[in-house]
Amino acid sequence: MSTDRRSFFTRLASAGAGLLAGVKTVASQTSTQVAPAEGEHAMHHDHAAGVGRDPFETPDLPKLPWTMVDGVKEFHLIAEVVRTEFMPGRIVDAWGYNGSVPGPTIEVDEGDTVRIVFENRLPEITTVHWHGLEVPIEMDGVPGLTMDPVQPGGTFVYEFTLHQHGTFFYHSHMPMQEMLGMLGFFIIHPKERYQPAVDRDFGFLLQGWALLPNNTVPNTLSMEFNWLTLNGKAGPATTPVIVKQGERVRLRFVNLGMDHHPMHMHGHQFYVTGTEGGRVPEAARHPGNTVIVGVAQARDVEFEAQYLGDWMLHCHLPHHMMNQMVSMVGPMSHMGSGLHTGAGMEEGMGMIRQGHGLSEELGPALGRGLGEAATRERNVTHMVGQAANQESGHQHHAQGDEGAQQVPGFPQDMWMVMDEMFVKPETYGLRKDWTAAMMGMMTLVRVVTPELYDEIAELKKQQPAEQKPGGQQPIHQHQHKQG
């Protein structure tokens, strides 16, 4: 073991010690042991034969286990309140399934008959809709229209046979519940493996949230979103995906929220090979490096990982490349001298105490101004300014502070290094200060050498089970002020 790796492992171990005082998931802890799917990894190298499955993974999310009962794959899906965290310290009381927000991944095969024994542990009615699946109308999961709602404490058994294959998802059909996180992947592998087969296959659920500072409950009515997540994590808490140079890789995106997300990958070109309706015919594929994933859509892209490097994969909407959406945070984080971003964060998120949101006073500016044009106050500073630096440890990215002072509203971007908070095998070998680049709907595709791949694999083996991504992660009580 290299010295470098040994010291990394020491940091890994001590990171684990800090987790113990964590908050527990509110809900029941369901086992995340996935029943052995046929040859998940054994078939991995069987490209030519067209048999087996592409090895699908959802970073930071578990898979829903199943058992075979009389030839039917039986799943137990439980809707419940889940306390989660988007990154260490940003605790969120959301709604999800089986202790996970978003819900665990259901992974099945074309031709399967599946039975989903569904239980509602929420305080209100719900149902499950199977998005994109061609199922009998009574299985479609729209409360009132196609079935009676499942009452709190109630159950419903969904059962259907799958004749499709591709990237699908399940979600509550009640909009406010969707905004609280209630969705999950429903991946159907084809009978005949897609050609060319991929070596790696990763899924990402894209979500936007409105969370006031010091509040843990998402505001489902807001039209302004300040937290953007991939599989329930915001950068740099998203776990990077690791691929070997030369491997063929598929990325699958599903978006359920109020915005579209142009997902962009650095350093490579990819082809869109699938949508929420299934596989795209080869003749219809075109190259790109950004794919717009609209609301309710799924997009699969594939590429050859040709170039070594830690390549960013992120939504390119600038406001989705931030945590806490800094320009909106408003007077609360301005140490008293203030850039009013049109209005305060409460107003921007719909908590209006007088008048209404479209009034002359509030409407044009509500949460959207940056100070110079739309604000009520001229005295402009920003949350990462001088005062904030001293108080909270945020770093200023200006080299010459004096010059910076002469520019109204400067600086606007944040520069926060927090490498030590994200020590895990998947971040081994990243450049120092990497965390400063990662915020919001961002993760990394790390194209590595076989040697580095093996080193990371070895670190994963040594990693305590409760720290592994995709399991039920304990919630860290790591206080970190963001603003």
How many CB atoms are located within 10 Å of the residue 77 CB?
21
- Cβ distance to Cu ion smaller for residue 252 or 261: 261
Amino acid present at 381: T
- Strand-pairing partners, residue 443, are 313
Report the b/e string of 110-140 with b at 16+ CB within 10 A. eebebbbebbbbbeebbbbbbbbbebeeebb
- Cβ distance to Cu ion smaller for residue 15 or 293: 293
Token pair, residue 290, equals 């950004």
In a 3-state reduction of DSSP, which class is residue 129? Answer: strand
Q: What is the C-alpha to C-alpha distance for residues 400 and 421, in angstroms, rounded to an integer? A: 29
Q: CB 262 → Cu ion: shortest distance, Å?
A: 7
- Cβ distance to Cu ion smaller for residue 174 or 315: 315
Q: CB 235 → Cu ion: shortest distance, Å?
A: 12
Expressed in angstroms, the distance from the first to the final Cα of the chain is 40
- Cβ distance to Cu ion smaller for residue 261 or 340: 261
Angle in degrees, CA 161, 201, 262, rounded to 5: 100
- Strand-pairing partners, residue 79, are 97, 120
Q: CB 257 → Cu ion: shortest distance, Å?
A: 8
Q: CB 280 → Cu ion: shortest distance, Å?
A: 22
Q: CB 228 → Cu ion: shortest distance, Å?
A: 6
C-beta separation of 147 from 107 below 8 A:
no
Q: CB 209 → Cu ion: shortest distance, Å?
A: 12
Summarize as ranges the residues that interact with Cu ion (CB under 5 A). Answer: 261, 315, 317, 320
- Cβ distance to Cu ion smaller for residue 37 or 317: 317
Q: CB 210 → Cu ion: shortest distance, Å?
A: 14
Angle in degrees, CA 354, 360, 363, rounded to 5: 80
Amino acid present at 340: H
Amino acid present at 251: L
In a 3-state reduction of DSSP, which class is residue 270? Answer: strand
- Cβ distance to Cu ion smaller for residue 206 or 418: 206
Q: CB 223 → Cu ion: shortest distance, Å?
A: 15
- Cβ distance to Cu ion smaller for residue 107 or 300: 300
Q: How far is CA 231 from the centre of its chain?
A: 3
C-beta separation of 225 from 325 below 8 A:
yes
- Cβ distance to Cu ion smaller for residue 92 or 315: 315
- Cβ distance to Cu ion smaller for residue 86 or 156: 86
- Cβ distance to Cu ion smaller for residue 259 or 310: 259
Q: CB 224 → Cu ion: shortest distance, Å?
A: 13
C-beta separation of 266 from 313 below 8 A:
yes
Q: Kind and range of the H or E element at 211?
A: none
Helix axes 3-17, 450-462, angle to 10 degrees: 30
Q: CB 313 → Cu ion: shortest distance, Å?
A: 12
Token pair, residue 416, equals 């926060």
Q: Do β-strands 298-304 and 270-275 pair in parallel, antiparallel, or remain unpaired? A: antiparallel
